[in-house]
Amino acid sequence: MMDATAKPLRVPPEISVYAEQHGIFDLIQKMVSSLLTDRPEDPIQYLIDMLKKSGGDEVPRIFILGPPASGKKTIAKMLCDQINAVLLKPEDFFLDDVSERVKEALSYKMSNKGWVLVGFPTTREQAVLLQEASVMPQHVVLLDAPDTVLIERNLGKRIDPYSGDVYHTTFEWPSDPNVQKQLVKPDNISEKETAKELLAYRRHYHGIFNTYNNICKTINADQPCIDVFSQVLTYVQQQHRSAAPFTPRILLYGPPGSGRSLQAALIAQKYSIVNICCGQLLKEAAAGDTKLGELLKPYIEYGQQVPDNLVIKILKDGLSNFDCTTRGWVLHGFPRDVEQATELKDAGFVPNRVVFLDITDDAVMERLTLRMTDPVTGERYHSVYKPPPNPKVQSRLQRNPKDSEDNVQHHLDVYHASVWEMEKFYDNVIHINADQDPHTVFEYIESCIVNPIPKKIQKPKTAELHV
């Protein structure tokens, strides 16, 4: 038992950064989950083999479920084509001798492609049996539509007995006359039989949903097929929120006038993280009675650019504070180019959220060149967004020389010269339109902070609806 009088051991904050960068928490969680699911005879060797396998547990494992005529088979086929996964059907599970292809697909630790299971399970009992058999999906999609729509779709189904392709008398009719002649009406699609199947589906719907509620999304199937597919693809390429501890390290990057300072202040206030403004840190350091402050004073007083080595030293001291390492930070004003970003990375400070605030040059000019300050009250005004209240105040307003068109254009040119390389340097950059209400911008940034970064979405292939 720990001695209460002894000072508790404090784990260095750098360990949490390392654990986050390498996904240690999620790795341990997956290892324990796999052990409990598979119950291997040799747990140690099982874990060794699992760790040697690179990326094998990241392949897609998806259920596409829904009532009759919801388009689940069509969406599943399109999804498999898009993400190069194996399509599995309910009949694959009912064969006396399950094929090696199915066995390999279900064992995601052995497969490099992943799988999409369509139309199964249909009850909670079947879902539990799949869990006991270690068939665990990453994402579950429930397609749904009003019963009247589904009945109408089902009545129009026609099947090509030679190819197995499904067509519809209203939504998708083949252009080939020979194919039209050989289409047949499938069995059990009458209004009465369809209503019976829908009633059975609705009876078991909540059991399925409750089984997979943490990884399940219901999508409206009563819309064009390409829209349904786009929503499904977007969902299955999202990462679920991790239970691992998360310390925000946010970098706001954008041109002058994009609102970096305001957004950083809002983020810091909302989430109690440290607001690191590079310019403010330099001014505070220059005001201090230190050797470093003496070196900084000439640059600050004459408005010259501070050498990168001095900036990095100041930032390293600020970002190394205990509050920053434990509560997190939001940085803006640095880096401005790839060289500075590399130096920041080499110093050990890697952001886990990089937000680019995008805005046009014309909008920047309007924001900056038309703003003025009242030297008496210190109040800031803008000719368009916040005009002075009366002519007296108008007459004494002053414009900062930094807001001249030539100076603003110079800073914009510097920004444009580096923005493309900066986007290549950082992975998973989040782009936000900064030319809108600041609180709208903040809400979007906030959603990107609290939610996992989505995987890059591939452009969906155009397809027609087969029901």
SS (H, E, C) the chain: CCCCCCCCCCCCHHHHHHHHHCCHHHHHHHHHHHHHHHCCCCHHHHHHHHHHCCCHHHCCEEEEECCCCCCHHHHHHHHHHHHCCEEECCHHHHCCCCCHHHHHHHCCCCCCCCEEEECCCCCHHHHHHHHHCCCCCCEEEEEECCHHHHHHHHHCEEECCCCCCEEECCCECCCCHHHHHHCECCCCCCHHHHHHHHHHHHHHHHHHHHHCHHHEEEEECCCCHHHHHHHHHHHHCCCCCCCCCCCCEEEEECCCCCCHHHHHHHHHHHHCCEEEEHHHHHHHHHHCCCHHHHHHHHHHHCCCCCCHHHHHHHHHHHHCCHHHHHHCEEEECCCCCHHHHHHHHHCCCCCCEEEEEECCHHHHHHHHHCEEECCCCCCEEECCCECCCCHHHHHHCECCHHHCHHHHHHHHHHHHHHHHHHHHHCCCCEEEECCCCHHHHHHHHHHHHHCCCCCCCCCCCCCCCCC
**Please, what is the average pLDDT of the chain?**
83
Count the Cβ atoms, other than its own, within 10 Å of residue 70.
27
Q: Is the pLDDT of residue 364 over 50?
A: yes
Residues forming beta bridges with residue 274, ordered by sequence position = 329
**pLDDT at res. 443:** 93
Averaged pLDDT for residues 139-160 = 88
Phi-psi region of 172 (alpha: psi -120 to 50; beta: other; left: phi over 0): beta
The predicted pLDDT at position 186 comes to: 81
pLDDT score, position 317: 86
267, 442 Cβ separation under 8 angstroms? yes
Query: What pLDDT score was predicted for residue 48?
Result: 86
Q: Is the pLDDT of residue 5 over 60?
A: no
pLDDT number for residue 30 = 79
Mind listing the pLDDT tens digit for each residue in 387-405? 999 999 898 999 888 889 9
Would the pTM count as exceeding 0.75? no
Class of domain 58-236 as given by CATH:
alpha beta
Residues 6 or more apart in contact with residue 31 via CB below 8 angstroms:
47, 50, 51
φ, ψ (nearest 5 deg) of residue 164: 85, 0
Beta-carbon-side half-sphere exposure of residue 333 (alpha carbons within 13 Å): 19
Judged by average pLDDT, the poorest of 138-142, 290-294, 395-399 is 290-294
Q: Which of 248, 198, 217 is nearest to 137 (CA)?
A: 217
Residues of the chain within CATH 3.40.50.300 domain(s) are: 58-236, 249-450
pLDDT at 332: 95
Picking from 427, 348, 383, the residue whose alpha carbon sits closest to that of residue 18 is 348
Confidence grade of residue 54 (pLDDT, cut at 50, 70, 90): low
pLDDT at 138: 87
Mean pLDDT confidence for 110-130: 83
Residue 2 above 80 pLDDT? no
Percent of the chain with pLDDT over 90: 33
d(CA 194, CA 68): 7
375 φ/ψ sector (left φ>0, alpha ψ -120 to 50, else beta): alpha
- CA nearest to 134, candidates 98, 94, 105: 105
**What pLDDT does 1 receive?**
45
Residue 164: left if φ>0, alpha if ψ -120 to 50, beta else—which one? left
Q: Averaged over 223-235, what is the pLDDT?
A: 91
Model pLDDT, residue 368: 92
Residue 105 pLDDT more than 70?
A: no
Number of C-beta neighbours around residue 389 at 10 A:
10
Describe the crossing of helices 147-155 and 191-211 by its angle, rounded to 10 degrees.
Answer: 130
Q: If you average pLDDT over residues 403-427, what whole number do you get?
A: 92
> With 80 as the cut, is the pLDDT of residue 33 above it?
no
In Å, the largest CA–CA distance within the chain is 92
Q: How far is CA 267 from CA 246, 249, 255, 275, in A?
A: 15, 11, 19, 8
* Position 458 confidence tier, pLDDT thresholds 50, 70, 90: very low
What is the CATH code for 249-450? Answer: 3.40.50.300
